[in-house]
Amino acid sequence: MTLKFEFINHSCFILTNNNITLAVDPWLGGSVFNKSWELLVDTPKSSLGNVKNCDYIWFSHEHPDHFNPQDVKKFPTDKKYLFQKTKDKRVINFLKKFSKNVLELNSNQVFKLNKNFSIQVLPFQDLDSFCIIKINDLTILNLNDCDIKNSKELKFIKEKAGNIDVLFAQFSYAIGKSNKEDKETREEISKKILENLSKTISYLKPKKVVPFASFCFFSRKDNFYLNDSINKIGDTISFLKKKHLDVEFLCFYPGDIWDLNNEWKNEESLNKYIDHYKNIQPSNNIDDIIKFSELESISLKFISTTKKNNNLFDIYNFINKKYHRIFFKLTDSNIFLKFDFDKGLQKTFNITDENPICELTSESLKQLFIGGYGYDALTIGGRYEANKLGEKCLKKIFKFQTKNYQNQFYNFTDILQRLFSKIFKNSRAIPDR
C-alpha cells in the first residue's frame, strides 16, 4: 500500500494513497497580504509540478497564504477543488472560473477520494476551517490557522476527530499588529502561541505533531522588524518536546518525502532551516505612490458601501463618533490626512500626539479601503505604525468592512438572526455559515 507524504511549503503538503493525491493550501511563491509576507524557503520546482498534477486540492480558508489566486490561475483547468460551503460563495465562484470540477463540501460531510481515503471539512469560527483526513486506519487532523480559544472548541474537535495519529498546526504569530518598539509584546504573543499549542496537544493527544503553516517572514523594510520574535521551528520543537515526552514531533523541509509507514528523522531538515532564518532580508521593492485624488475617491466609495450594507450604521456612528475619525501620515509622500465618515479623506496639517494616528504608505492605505479584508491584511502584514488611540479607531472604523466580508451586517435582520443563533446554538463550537 502506497502511503506517501510530501511537504511542499508553508501550509501545503500532498498525501498520496494508491495513486490518488490530495494537496492542501498551496501558496507556492510570491508575496501576499499586500506584499507583506514571503516564503522562508523557495518551493522546489519538482514540488510545483507535483501540486499541479495532483488529483484534488483543498483550501482551508481564503487568506492568500492558503488560497492564493495567483497560484490557482496556473493550475490545469480540469483540477478538482474542494472547499467548505459558505454563504458568500466567493472562493467557490472564483474557482469555477478556472475549473468545472469544484466541489462544495457541507459541514460534517465525509468526501471519499477513494475507498480508503477520505476528507471531512468543518467550518471554524468566522472564516477558517479544519479537516480530518482518514487513510485506512490512519487519522490526520489539519488545524492550519485555527485559533482555538477555549475547551469547548477543543472538545468539539476531539469528538469529531477521535484518536489522532498526526496533528498539523500553526506554530508562530501571523499578525503584525505591533509597533517597532513593542518587542516585549511580540515575545509575549509568541510565547502564548506555543503555550496554547501545548494545551491543544495535551487535550487532543495526537501520536505525532507537525508544526507548520509558519514558514514565512515579514519581508518589507517597514515590517521586517517583526521577525525579531517569531517562533522558529527548531526552538518550537525543543519547547514542545520538553512538555510532551510521549509525542513525536516532526520537521519537514520543502521537497521532503515521508513514507508514513516508516520513521522520520528531523536533523537534516532542521539544520537547513537554520541558515534560512539567518539569511532573510527585506525586499527592495518600492510601492507605487497613490495620488491623493485617488485615495479621496476610494474613501468616499468606502463610506457609501459601508452605509449601504449596514442600515444601523447611523446608530453605531452616533455611539462611536469619537472613534470614527483618524489621522494618517503617508510615509512615502509625507502627506497628512484626516478621515471621518462625514467627509472622507481630507488633507490636514494639524496633528498632535493626542490624535489617533496611523503611519503607512499610500499603497497600504489604498488597500485598507478597497480590500474585502483590508483591515485584516493590514494588521496581519504589519506594514503600519499606530498609537493606542489610532489602533482603537482603526478597529472601529473598519469593523464594518471586516464583518461584512464575513457575511455579517449591522442591520435589524442580521442582528436578530445572530441573537437567536446564540440562544439556540449556544452549545456549538463551530457556527453554521
- CA dist list (Å): 11 to 8, 27, 138, 389, 404: 8, 8, 20, 35, 27
Task: Give the helix ranges, DSSP H, for 22-150.
Answer: 45-53, 69-72, 90-96
According to DSSP, the β-strands at 208-212 and 166-170 are parallel
pLDDT digits (tens, 9 = 90+) for 91-126: 999 999 999 999 999 998 999 999 999 999 999 988
Q: What is the pLDDT of residues 305-358, one digit of tens each?
A: 999 999 999 999 999 999 999 999 999 999 999 999 999 999 998 889 899 999
pLDDT by residue, tens only, the chain of 433 residues: 679 999 999 999 999 999 999 999 999 999 999 999 999 999 999 999 999 999 999 999 999 999 999 999 999 999 999 999 998 999 999 999 999 999 999 998 999 999 999 999 999 988 899 999 999 999 999 999 999 999 999 999 999 999 999 999 999 998 777 899 999 999 999 999 999 999 999 999 999 999 999 999 999 999 999 999 999 999 999 999 999 999 999 999 999 999 998 999 999 999 999 999 999 999 998 899 999 999 999 999 999 999 999 999 999 999 999 999 999 999 999 999 999 999 999 999 888 989 999 999 999 999 999 988 899 999 999 999 999 999 999 999 999 999 999 888 998 777 777 676 666 554 444 544 4
Q: What is the dihedral of CA 243, 247, 248, 254, to 10 degrees?
A: -70
Query: For residue 278, which phi and psi values (nearest 5 degrees)?
Result: -70, -30
Distance CA 394, CA 249 (A): 39
- Residues 120, 430: Cα–Cα separation, whole Å: 14
The model's pTM is 0.94
- How far apart are alpha carbons 409 and 310 in whole angstroms? 6
- The angle formed by the CA atoms of residues 145, 150 and 155, to the nearest 5 degrees, is 90
Residue type, 153: E
CB of 22 closer than 8 Å to CB of 15: yes
Residue identified by cell 468543518 is: 122
* Phi and psi torsions of 101, nearest 5°: -105, 60
Residue for grid cell 520537521: 251
CA distances from 241 to 140, 169, 238, 262 (A): 20, 15, 5, 20
CA dist 56 and 20 (Å) reads: 8
Q: DSSP letter string over 138-154?
A: EEEEE-TT----SHHHH
Q: Contact 200/155 with Cβ under 8 angstroms? A: no
Q: What is the pLDDT of residues 208-226, one digit of tens each?
A: 999 999 999 999 999 999 9
* 57 in Cβ contact with 51 (< 8 Å): yes
The domains found in the chain, sorted by start residue, are 3-279 (3.60.15.10), 292-413 (3.30.1050)
